[in-house]
Amino acid sequence: QSALTQPASVSGSPGQSITISCTGTSSDVGAYNYVSWYQQHPGKAPKLMIYEVSNRPSGVSNRFSGSKSGNTASLTISGLQAEDEADYYCYSYRTGRPASFVFGTGTRVTAL
Amino acid sequence: EVQLVESGGGLVQPGGSLRLSCAASGFTLGIYWMTWVRQAPGKGLEWVANIKQDESEKYYGDSVRGRFTVSRDNAQNSLYLQMNSLRDEDTAIYYCARDTGSYYTDYWGQGTLVTVSS
């Protein structure tokens, strides 16, 4: 099962906006609005940041937003802060027999 | 408060077996799908398996299908992962997570480390 494609790293200055892409296929990212995003700090468990492409769970800053176009989903962090430095992973349902799930390759975000 | 606590990890030789457990509290396990995810040292997240509330549906990643079996005991608020024929590449932190039923997970445990080595 091939992973979804993300850039290995993205960086920005504090206060800037950055965008992380997540590219899949018409069998996963492009099939349904079942893309979610997770933040993982070193040594910690992943934390849900966005679900169903663009919805934010309660308690997640509105600086985080999600979108999708075709087979590519995106996570945007506005007003980048030092605490946003972490690894980010997209996650998608994948159609097929059997159905499955797949993570992205992961993106390290750095605040310069 | 929702809590998931994994246990059962450790050092095992290639070809061996291990059974992981995930104790759930703060919610009714029986109304949720559950998920196992792993992360090899220094690597990304990999989906391992999902299980429906009544165990009628189970799905596995290609790399573990036929070797791993997911199960649950809702009365005991527990999720399990039986891992057989372990390989070096199964070395990872294994996380259990609650699936909302809408194809995403909202709560995760802290993970348990499995090391496969001779």
CB B52 within 8 A of CB B58: yes
Q: Which residues of A touch B37 (CB under 8 A)?
A: 46, 103
List % helix, strand, coil for chain B (3-state, nearest 5): 10, 55, 40
Q: Do A45 and B109 touch (CB under 8 A)?
A: yes
**3-state secondary structure at position A82:** helix
CA distance A87 to chain B (A): 9
E-only strand ranges, chain A: 9-12, 18-23, 35-40, 47-50, 64-69, 72-77, 86-94, 100-103, 107-111
Nearest to A89 among B44, B50, B61 (CB): B44
pLDDT score at A98: 86
Q: Do B45 and A38 touch (CB under 8 A)?
A: yes
pLDDT score at B73: 97
Nearest to A98 among B44, B47, B59 (CB): B59
Q: Do A48 and B46 touch (CB under 8 A)?
A: no
Q: Do B61 and A1 touch (CB under 8 A)?
A: yes
Share of chain A above pLDDT 90, in %: 94
pLDDT score at A99: 85
Using CA atoms, how far apart are residues A85 and A2, in angstroms rounded to an integer? Answer: 26
Token pair, residue B87, equals 């390989």
| Across A31-40, A92-101, B32-41, B72-81, least confident range | A92-101
Q: Which residues of B touch A40 (CB under 8 A)?
A: 45
| B 88-107: CB under 8 A from A | 95, 100, 102-106
Partners of B113 in the beta sheet?
B93
Q: Give chain A's radius of gyration (CA, Å).
A: 13
Per-chain mean pLDDT for chain B: 97
Q: Express each pLDDT in B3-58 by its tens digit.
A: 999 999 999 999 999 999 999 999 999 999 999 999 999 999 999 999 999 999 99
Confidence of residue B101 (pLDDT cuts 50, 70, 90): confident
